[in-house]
Amino acid sequence: MKFDTPAGTNPIDQMKVVGKPVDRIDGKLKTTGTAPYAYERHDVVKNAAYGYIVGSAIAKGRINSMNVVDAKSAPGVLAVITALDGPKLGKGNSNTANLFGGPDVEHYHQAIALVVAETFEQARAAAHLIRVDYTRTDGKYDLAVQAKSAPLKGDGSDEGSGAPPVHRVGDFEAAFAAAPVQIDQTYTTPDETHAMMEPHATIARWDGDKLTLWTSNQMIDWSRRDVAKILGIPKDNVRLVSPYIGGGFGGKLFVRADAALAAVGAKAVGRPVKVTLQRALIMNNTTHRPATIQRVRIGTDRSGKITAIAHESTSGNLPNGDLETAVSQTRLLYAGANRLVSMRLALLDLPEGNAMRAPGEAPGMMALEVAMDEAAEKLGMDPIEFRVRNDTQEDPEKPGRRFSHRNLTECLRRGADMFGWDKRMAKPGQRRDGRWLVGMGMAAGFRNNIVTKSAARVSIDAKGVVTVRTDMTDIGTGSYTIIAQTAAEVMGVPLEQVVVLLGDSDFPVAAGSGGQWGANNSTAGVYAACMKLRAAIVQKLGYDQARAEFTNGTVRAGNRSVSLGEAVGQAGLTVEDGIEYGDLDKQYQQSTFAGHFVEAGVDAATGEVRLRRMLAVCSAGRILNPKSARSQVIGAMTMGAGAALMEEAVVDKRFGFFVNHDLASYEVPVHADIPHQDVIFLDETDDKSSPMKAKGVGELGICGVGAAIANAIYNATGVRVREYPITLDKYLDRLPQVV
């Protein structure tokens, strides 16, 4: 199905099943521990051996030798495969560093050996017997130092954010110099890691020259392609299966060492091998969100209209690595005739930087939305009114190119009313609640909507049961449920009569889970396949296509009606189709918007921060399932709180690694850190997005909330912190004196 004109009235508009807060159909499996995750697929292979990966103990240099004699003779060991004597693996399209390093080492904890044994404990014990002789060479590990000479570089995140090396509209410098009100500030965000609950894990089995991987991966087709390239085998010889994923947040978009080395190990020992990346290895071996240094300049006239806006960001990565595209939202969020964005990429020898939930906008909004608050304060204007005054319905870089649907102002107005913004003290440090200094902060939220083709296979049997097969994944987002809702709505059957099978490369290629694009595109693909199935049924019955109605498990045209089971007969019926897009996303800017509101308390004596209330008001097209969408947003808000207050992968700038590479020392929010969270979805549709008239929402919840927290802390204390995370050492000595 080609989607190249705005959606008209269609079966989804019935909203009998779609749009309802349906419980997750996979919820019982998750809560009873019976959902089959990759490492636990005892049902698919017998007699699996265990692999244990050894990571490099240096960040940059060369392996001179590896002594594996003791490891090979250890109890239960079946094979020891090293980077010096093992197969030479290729590099996947999505990998910056080699997944199997050596003899040259590209980053700390790069995989350099795999031990395969009968048990996990035997493999682990033998791995610790390997002795490696290295020559360490000097590396570049300090972004602040390397930023001084970092070259300009343009890039895209492949998730809708990006910019050229330098992009100008009008004459920023002249307009900024002439602006009567100016702010010019620098903000920093640290390296962060995904810290998902389920580690990267894979079971590999060879059947002749064909490989099956049961793995934890967000993008099945991308990864199938890369596995084939890494191993040097045809893509048709690779099957990936990933029906349940225990969190990814971008860290499982691409193939990692567990998948590649499980395949290598299974080939070496002639039996299935299972490999998981131990937690201490994940944070340096896989990918992370790169740190940024961001300079934001805003110039306005006396009335608060932005006349000049600039956002410049520097991040770092390995050679040929990607940027953190933190300036992207500044190109689209606010009006202003004179504009400048630029990005620089410093060469660092730290582990690979890549996508983490909402790459680009998540750290970019943490700078931009604090700068907006600083500009509002300098103007003596309410922060909400300042943002509303600079709202726009057109792409600020391309006048005349309108947004497909933009309701930022309503997000801000509704949020202000719900949150009691009128009770906020404009002057910081004025409100107290016992020992607590209390403040309110807000920020706009922004994330682009991406459309990408997605397909599904839909069948119906003689009992009227509809089965959907697609390689779409469910990373805890509720894909099973919204896909089932879509099929039930279009085919006119109860939700209980829909079976959804996901995450298998034998199924049609879907959008996959990433970039906030999964829900809208995967359901649109299912919609296309179901519409094709409807047409096939109607044709088989000889009904008039224009008059046919699918409802309550029947198909009706005029006074003729038959159950779907009878209509397809004993043989059933199967069709395959997908959604393909025209250029509506080029004609119109497709984005999602939010208003984030936070109330924070800061202990006047100790400086401890406690979040007291949080609210997000979201404008993101049709919400397919308000219950699962709310879960996505509050999870994103929680991640935003972590980014604002505690998350930092601390770099050892001498030896080039993240020191706190475990869940004990890498702090993430826990239940006690998070207050009640309210989420409001504006009742709207976007007919230019897809037949579903929906857009993504799962990453919108993280974009802006960190800045709202920072702004709330400033409003509570009068102390502005521009270096995330906002920890005690950065403001304790500047708190108002306790009286």
Active site (catalytic) residues: 699
Amino acid making up residue 100: F
Query: Comparing C-alpha atoms, which of 429, 418, 416, 335 is closest to residue 382?
Result: 416
Pairing relation of β-strands 111-117 and 166-169? unpaired
Give the span between the Cα atoms of 398 and 250, in whole angstroms: 31
Give the span between the Cα atoms of 187 and 707, in whole angstroms: 11
Pairing relation of β-strands 49-55 and 273-276? parallel
Buried b (16+ CB within 10 A) or exposed e, 398-426: eeeebbbbbbbbebbbbbbeebebeebee
Please compute Rg for the chain using Cα positions. 27
Contacts of 391 by beta carbon, 8 Å cutoff, 6+ apart: 334, 335, 406, 408, 409
Give the span between the Cα atoms of 346 and 729, in whole angstroms: 27
Give the span between the Cα atoms of 348 and 511, in whole angstroms: 32
Pairing relation of β-strands 2-3 and 573-581? parallel
Angle at the Cα of 392 from the Cα atoms of 381 and 400, rounded to 5 degrees: 155
Amino acid making up residue 349: D
CA separation, residue 704 to residues 103, 340, 425, 502, 701 (Å)? 43, 21, 21, 32, 8
Q: Which residue bears the tokens 């404009």? A: 426
- Contact of 594 with 445, CB cutoff 8 Å: yes
Give the span between the Cα atoms of 158 and 513, in whole angstroms: 13
Contacts of 417 by beta carbon, 8 Å cutoff, 6+ apart: none
